[in-house]
Structure 1
């Protein structure tokens, strides 16, 4: 995965629009199927929780199917990119302590992975207007770059490949 620049305003507008549309679809389908199942198989004098839950689950499955059909369209490129970037950043974060140790040992692959991690987190924070922890991340990144200098490692996020995480 390569980092790429995407328009923040466009990303946020598409993200909101897609969320509202798919939440609305889920709401309508879930409520409709719950009502239909209640009329068809519900107990007029007792609890219909299982029937309502079945209707909601059917609505969720259909909504997921609709997303699976349209999610590959070019309109969703920015959303898919941010989603995949989050997944890669989280994979690295889950083993961040190991990657940091490898950087201390002078491992160039670890330096590349950590460079991608810091660049990815910074980009995600920017895209989502998330300033929480930004100062700490900048300090941590500066410390990382200092360690790379000590070990003569390059820290270029463009050299990152998903294969490095295996």
Structure 2
């Protein structure tokens, strides 16, 4: 996976549209399924919690099926890219202390993984308008780059591949 440039404004507009659309479709399907189930299987005395819950779950399932098919379209490339970028950054974040230890031991792999992590985190914070977190990450990246220089390691995020994450023991 490589870091690529995406237009922040376009990404945010698409993200908002998709969120509103998913929520709307889910609400409509959930409410409709609940109403239909209440009509055919509901209790006239009003105890319909399980029927309503079943309707909501059916609406959720249908929404997931619809969007799993629609999400493959090119319109969603930027959203899929950031989704995958977040997954990779979180994978690294969960074991960052181990990667940092390997960096101290002089591991070039750790330098590559952490370089990718910092670039990914900066891009995600920029896209999410997280200015406080962004400034903090810039400082952490500067410290990381300084450590790499002292250890004579090349922090090249472009060399990152998912396979490198499997090298962590």
- Measured against the shorter chain, the TM-score band is over 0.9
Matched, 1:65 2:65: yes
| 1:116-159 CA distance string (max 9 Å, x none) | 00000000011111113222212211111111011100011111
- Correspondences of 1:1-166 after superposition (within 5 Å): 1-166=1-166
Distance 1:77 1:50 in 2: 38
Provide the TM-score with structure 1 as the length reference: 0.98
- Which runs of 5 or more structure 1 residues have no equivalent in the other structure? none
On the 8 A contact 2:86/2:124 being kept in 1, the answer is: yes
Q: Give RMSD over aligned pairs.
A: 0.8
Kept in 1, the 8 Å contact 2:37–2:52? The answer is yes
Mapped to 2, the partners of 1:133 and 1:8 lie a distance apart of 17
Query: Aligned equivalents of 1:122 and 1:96: distance in 2?
Result: 16
CA distance in 2, matches of 1:56, 1:42: 14
**Residues in 2 aligned to 1:99 and 1:162: alpha-carbon distance in whole angstroms:** 14
Normalising by structure 2, report the TM-score.
0.96
Structure 2 unaligned residues grouped into runs of 5+: none
